Amino acid sequence: MLQKRLVAWKAGLSAIRALSMPSRADTQPMRFHQVATGKAASKFVTDFAAGAVAVRAENPRADKLRTMEKTVQVSPSILSADFANLGQEVGDVLKAGADWVHVDVMDGRFVPNITIGPGVVSALRKAHPDSILDCHLMIVEPEQRVEDAPLAQMTISGVDRVAPPAASTIHLHRTLNQIKSFGCLAGVVLNPGTPLSQIEYVLEEVDLVLIMSVNPGFGGQSFIESQLKKIKDLKEMCKAKGVNPWIEIDGGASGANAKEIKEAGCNAIVAGSAVFNAPDYAEAVKAIKEA
């Protein structure tokens, strides 16, 4: 499946390169908006659409996410794991009862840190072929860079859902549709200072809304209590629009505050330090689920 994803992506990338505007130097990064129109552009769309259909057909994990009952899911963030033993750590939390694996990808620009890339994700997918990899994409302008293709690379590597911050792009609707065109489910992230109004117009497009209850980029921070009201307001907004995305929280969550988080309206909880720093992973996951 990984090889088919790579072939589909390369075909689309070749089409983009072939269609680049004559005024652009070959050494400069290519961008989506610098693609010609007409029959050639249609070929580009067809290449990617064909690849996306093939990817979707081979991804039962994404189908599971679309149809599963929205009971509380625990998603340990590998940002807090031991990177020297990452494959083993992920296997251990899955055996301990974790439902998803939360993958934080950082570019050193949108947030100060740099974490992991497609190579690590590909290795995790190979080691844990049935696990649901939930990608929080903390990069600048994810829709703009086709040459290094952050969206394409992560989906090719094997993530099942990609959620960029609403604050990272001025073309959010377009970015979400790009994610879906690569065969992944699309989520969106609200940082603590990002208002709900910024995503209201795309709620029908997303599978998940991730509320950050810490400032993104670092593990082990304290929970920002004001985000509980944002969760409640989001729940009401979704109800008014007749949509039912996953509502996930990330940052400072643990068994100690999981009850109020769930009561506010969350049905997915990212827990990094609370799980990976616990002496017993199974007890930590259980404490969150049963709170």
Q: What pairs with residue 212 in β-bridges? A: 250
* Phi/psi at 33 (5° precision): -80, 0
Give the pLDDT score at 219.
61
Q: Is 26 a catalytic residue?
A: no
The closest of 281, 15, 3 to 146, measured between CA atoms, is 15
Q: Is 47 a catalytic residue?
A: no
Query: Each residue's pLDDT tens digit in the chain (291 positions)?
Result: 545 555 555 555 454 444 333 343 444 443 433 444 455 545 544 554 455 455 545 678 888 888 899 999 999 999 999 999 999 999 999 999 999 999 998 887 888 888 888 889 999 999 999 999 999 988 887 776 544 456 667 766 789 999 999 998 888 999 898 888 888 899 999 999 999 999 999 999 999 999 999 988 766 678 999 999 999 999 999 999 999 999 999 999 999 999 999 999 999 999 999 999 999 999 999 999 999
Classify domain 62-290 at the CATH superfamily level: Aldolase class I (3.20.20.70)
Point out the catalytic residue in the list 92, 99, 134, 250. 250
Point out the catalytic residue in the list 99, 104, 134, 160. 104
Euclidean distance between CA atoms 177 and 227, whole angstroms: 27
Evaluate whether 261 touches 225 at the Cβ level (below 8 Å). no
Claim: this prediction has a pTM higher than 0.75: yes
Q: Per-residue DSSP letters for 68-122?
A: S----EEE-BGGGS-GGGHHHHHHHHHHTT--EEEEEEEBSSSSS-B---HHHHH
Which residue is it, tokens 């089409």?
Answer: 15
Report the half-sphere exposure of 241 (CA within 13 A, side-chain side). 17
